[in-house]
Amino acid sequence: MCGIVAYVGSNNVYPILIKGLKRLEYRGYDSAGVSIGNQNRFLQYKQKGKVSDLEEYISKKDCNGSIGIGHTRWATHGVPNQTNAHPHTSGDGKLSLIHNGIIENYTSIKKALESKGHIFKSDTDTEVLVHLIEDVKNHEKVDLFEAVRIALDQVIGAYAIVVMELGVEDELITARKGSPLVIGIGRDEYYIASDAAPIIEY
């Protein structure tokens, strides 16, 4: 099983993500990663192994920001490694996404996107999904919320996703079908997780 934790608000997001990922370790996983929105860039760090390995990898890196997503992955498509770990980014680098579940028709979607010029770096269905959302957003000229809605209409399978857009530091887009997802509502802040464990203290 995979784990999701995300936050948007006024607090520093990194401690929330790391603590949340540690509380999801019981679900089983083989890699972990985070993506933090920092003005016009994503601070994205991924590592094979335990959350503690990720924490050590990040220890001397920039991790400032008040919006971010984190994930623990149990490999389904592609071997456990840094490339296949979540989060995944769109081809233009403007979207970052985490995903629990399986996109059953990802192969046909991937072929269609490749015919349009999309290039994939990983073996995952998740990277295909974020490229699909990017493709819809750019060709339909819609905002991220609508792009996610349209893209998910083309998807067969189960999912819980959280998507973040570069330069947008007050909004996360999330959706679920057949996979659990919890949203915690605070004072001008929001927590998202695959179960209550990472966010219950807030």
pLDDT tens by residue, 5-35: 999 999 999 999 999 999 999 888 889 999 9
CA distances from 33 to 29, 106, 137, 185, 188 (A): 11, 22, 25, 24, 25
Task: Give the pLDDT score at 14.
Answer: 97
Structure-token pair, residue 5: 């934790």
Q: Report the distance separating Cα 30 and Cα 151, nearest Å.
A: 28
Statement: residue 75 has pLDDT above 70:
no
Task: Using pLDDT thresholds of 50, 70 and 90, give the confidence band for residue 105.
Answer: very high
pLDDT tens for 133-176 read 999 999 999 999 999 999 999 999 999 999 999 999 999 999 99
- Are the CB atoms for 6 and 70 separated by under 8 Å? yes
Give strand ranges (E) for 49-189: 67-73, 88-89, 95-103, 157-165, 172-177, 182-185
Mean of pLDDT over the chain: 94
SS (H, E, C) 98-134: EEEEEECCHHHHHHHHHHCCCCCCCCCHHHHHHHHHH
Bridge partners of 127, per DSSP, are none
Instruction: Give the single-character DSSP code of 74.
Output: -
160 vs 183: CA distance, rounded Å: 12
Taking alpha carbons only, the member of 152, 110, 151 closest to residue 127 is 110
Indicate the length of the chain as a whole number: 202
The reported pLDDT for the residue numbered 80 is 62
